[in-house]
Amino acid sequence: MNAKSKAEEWLNSTSLDDISRQEIQSMSENELDEAFYKNLEFGTGGLRGIMGVGSNRVNKYTIGMATQGFANYLKESNSGQVSVAVAHDSRNNSKTFAQITADVFSANGIKVYLFEDLRPTPELSFAIRHLKCNGGVVLTASHNPREYNGYKAYWSDGAQLITPHDNNVIDHVNQISSIDHVDFNSDQNLIESIGEQVDTEYLEMIKELTLSSESIKNQTDLKVVFSPIHGTGITLIPRVLKELGFDNVHIVEEQSTPNGNFPTVVYPNPEEEEAMTLALKKANEIDADLVMATDPDSDRVGIAVKNSGGEFQLLNGNQTGVLIVYYLLKKWSESRFKGNEFIVKTIVTTELIKDIADDFNVNCYDTLTGFKHIAALIAKLEGKEVFIGGGEESYGYMIGDNVRDKDAVASCVILAEMTAWARDQGKSLFDILLDIYREYGLYQEALKSIVKKGMRGAEEIQEMMRTFREDPPAMLAGSKVTTIIDYQSSLKKDLKNGSSEEVQITKSNVLQYITEDGTKVSVRPSGTEPKIKFYFSVKSDSEWSDYESESENLKNKVHKLLVDLGL
């Protein structure tokens, strides 16, 4: 069905409201094509897209259709009273979409625990497990630009959907071919408002994760700057830090109020240096020890610490992940190890995490990008091995297994605690990072994202992947490519001897090139944004004494990789 036919189908629907009808009728031909050229795809994690009217947009009808399909599958998969938890972030329309989601679930006889107001995404994961729900939904587009919103679907374990549930839910959503197939007539008796009680249980769980209570007591004057970047972090992060004893937390006031327009930033993403500007300004004013900022739904955290020159330096997601894993293993090694613990990272995350885990004789497993894969591995090993922590390079980390998604609330607690622990030793977090590099080797990672929007952009991304697959580079930054891993075909090719072996990870559209000197380049289309991503990992192959100088050498090597790949 073409865009015009889809638009006419919507216009003929008895469910369509007058405002939406008028907007469709006033669209130009190009606007109509973009809004209706396809149905907004319900992927393995749910929906994400630009808000607006149309089958390819996030709106109350596409949200309703997704919920109807999910509701049908939940009822088919469970006997008795089915229940779900529903939460939302600070984005425009998120609260409305959360209410619509609750309405449709309840209209289908499903009990709904609806958060009274915005809450961090990881609390939704916790609530599903805590309330013994069959599933859940959070309305968020994470760190995407302000015009986006989204719908993340979760299963009873508090994790985002995995096989077979992801594909089965997709099938059921795709069966909802018309907005007239959605039951929007809510049963308010089945919708229960939740809030403070779940907040308290969630924060008590996080406080139990702490490993250096004495250091916190010793360093109550630790100066922390925190920014929620107009998102949900303001609801719980300052509160839990205070309850733990951090009495010197300074909020970035300009970004403290939840606001879906994100007025102080271009992108509400702590991965972006621009989004950290106000937090760094505040940190310099008060001479802070630690700077932390979370994205709108508080599942990612970016940090800054003082470097050896006394200037604030932003750490990338790999560096923060390395610090967290090192600290967890260091503290666990003092009294907690039983010999069956493990760490998890993703295939595009720094290998330094594995080096550290190996040194502590702790298993380190790789998964595909996305915390649903980490959660699936935790579930698979439950009762056999104990998950300590882990994460991925895109600023997401998980500590303990009570939450089955990345958790910036728990991460902020661990990072503040680790800063206190380092300060007890007369060190900063940057000093600890340098200690790690001296012990295990200096790594440098980088990410290059190329945005390709719209229908043509999606085609260009697929063409780029086809080219890299069919015509791989022979040399990268002066080093011969010796291994190619294609996760789509599950094959790892050794170019030195021509042999191949099967990769024991779920199939995915990801390519990796590994060179003779250990350089690793990964290429993958984003699953949630109109981007193709290139991940670079290089390691110093010589003794180094000056971090800044050697780090610059590695940055130059990354630049050579970019040139060799035509980026």
**Residues with a known catalytic role:** 142
- Pairing relation of β-strands 224-227 and 290-294? parallel
* Burial (0-12, 13-18, 19+ Cβ within 10 Å), 508: middle
Q: Is 443 exposed, middle or buried (0-12, 13-18, 19+ CB in 10 A)?
A: buried
Distance CA 43, CA 41 (A): 6
HEC profile of 172-197: HHHCCCCHHHCCCCCCHHHEEEECHH
> 10 Å Cβ neighbour count for 150?
25
Residue 564, token pair as written in the block: 């060799």
267 touches 145 (CB < 8 A): yes
The strand pairing partners of 518, in sequence order, are none
The span from the CA of 45 to the CA of 459, in Å, is 21
Extended beta strands in 44-134, E state: 46-50, 83-88, 111-115
CB 180, CB 87: distance < 8 Å: no
Q: Is 256 exposed, middle or buried (0-12, 13-18, 19+ CB in 10 A)?
A: middle
How buried is residue 77: exposed, middle or buried, by Cβ count under 10 Å (0-12/13-18/19+)? middle
How many helices (H) and strands (E) in the chain? 18, 23
For residue 429, which of 544, 282, 320 has the smallest C-alpha distance?
A: 320
> What Å distances lie between residue 446 and 17, 544, 551, 557, CA to CA?
47, 20, 12, 11
Within 229-276, residue ranges assigned H as helices are 233-244
d(CA 505, CA 494): 18
Total residues found in the chain within this entry: 567
d(C-alpha 420, C-alpha 221), whole Å: 9
Q: What is the 3-state secondary structure (H, E, C) of 524-562?
A: EECCCCCEEEEEEEEECCCCCCCHHHHHHHHHHHHHHHH
Q: How far, in whole angstroms, is CA 328 from its chain's centroid?
A: 20
